[in-house]
Amino acid sequence: MTPLRLAIFDCDGTLVDSQADIALAMEAAFATHALPAPPRADIRRIVGLSLGEAIRQLSPDLDAQTASALVQAYKDAFRARRAAGMVEEPLYDGIAALVAGLDAAGWLLGVATGKSDRGLAHCLDHHGLTGHFVTLQTADRHPSKPDPAMIEACLDATGAERAHTVMIGDTAYDMAMAVNAGVRAIGVDWGYHHPVELIAAGAEAIAGSVDELALLLKGLEA
């Protein structure tokens, strides 16, 4: 009997290129509180973390009240940009075909992301991908990566075994989360952390393109 195969994707930096939208919303949040915005290179580094943890890493000296206010300001800024039609979050080339092909081949597909439920739903709906995924886990219901809670929830929701589950992501947080959950980890090099960091965090392979990722996943079907 063929085992259930589960591929869990990160979203930002793996499925979609959202760094510009995230940076603009973060800059707006800091401006709301008359605080200097972190450099964009630093903002890029925290993409994938839950929002509260991202703020703590960007500004570790902030008091809890200000940090909480920045979290809300970021949410407000991002929603305002979305309402104005300014959020793009383009899919990386080839991702739509990859997702559809994996679904057709019998893979179960999930998402584990630092986005909110609402943000992920908007993103997947916009790109017509929602129907391909059977489990969606977000920062609204779980601790920040690299805690394994989101992967554990994907496993519980699908019944897949750890040995037949792979986490696909672009950051060290994704790879460490996979290691912590005892599942396989494949990194992608088109996102926000360097491949060397992904390997150091536990990636067993790095895909240099979506086609290469498809081949790596094909190799796991044996």
| 211/139 same-domain check | yes
Tens digit of each residue's pLDDT (9 = 90 or more) over 163-177: 999 999 999 999 999
| Residue at a domain's end among 83, 98, 131 | 83
Q: What is the pLDDT of residue 222?
A: 67
Q: In total, how many domains does the chain have? A: 2
Tens digit of each residue's pLDDT (9 = 90 or more) over 104-144: 999 999 999 999 999 999 999 999 999 999 999 999 999 99
| 34/100 same-domain check | no
Domain membership of residue 56 as a residue range = 19-83
| 62/78 same-domain check | yes
Which residue matches tokens 């039609």? 85
DSSP for 138-189, written as a single string: -TTSSPPTTSTHHHHHHHHHH---GGGEEEEESSHHHHHHHHHHT-EEEEET
Q: What is the pLDDT of residue 43?
A: 97
Q: Are 9 and 109 in contact (CB under 8 A)?
A: yes
| Residue at a domain's end among 34, 62, 83 | 83
pTM for this predicted structure: 0.96
Q: Which positions of the chain have pLDDT values less than 70?
A: 222
Burial class (CB within 10 angstroms; exposed 0-12, middle 13-18, buried 19+) of 41? exposed
Report the CATH number that the domain containing residue 178 is assigned in CATH: 3.40.50.1000
Q: What is the pLDDT of residue 165?
A: 98
Q: Which residues are catalytic?
A: 10, 12
| 50/95 same-domain check | no
Which residue matches tokens 């580094």? 45
1 domain residue, yes or no: no
Q: What is the pLDDT of residue 1?
A: 74
As given in the structure block, the two tokens for residue 31 are 């401006």
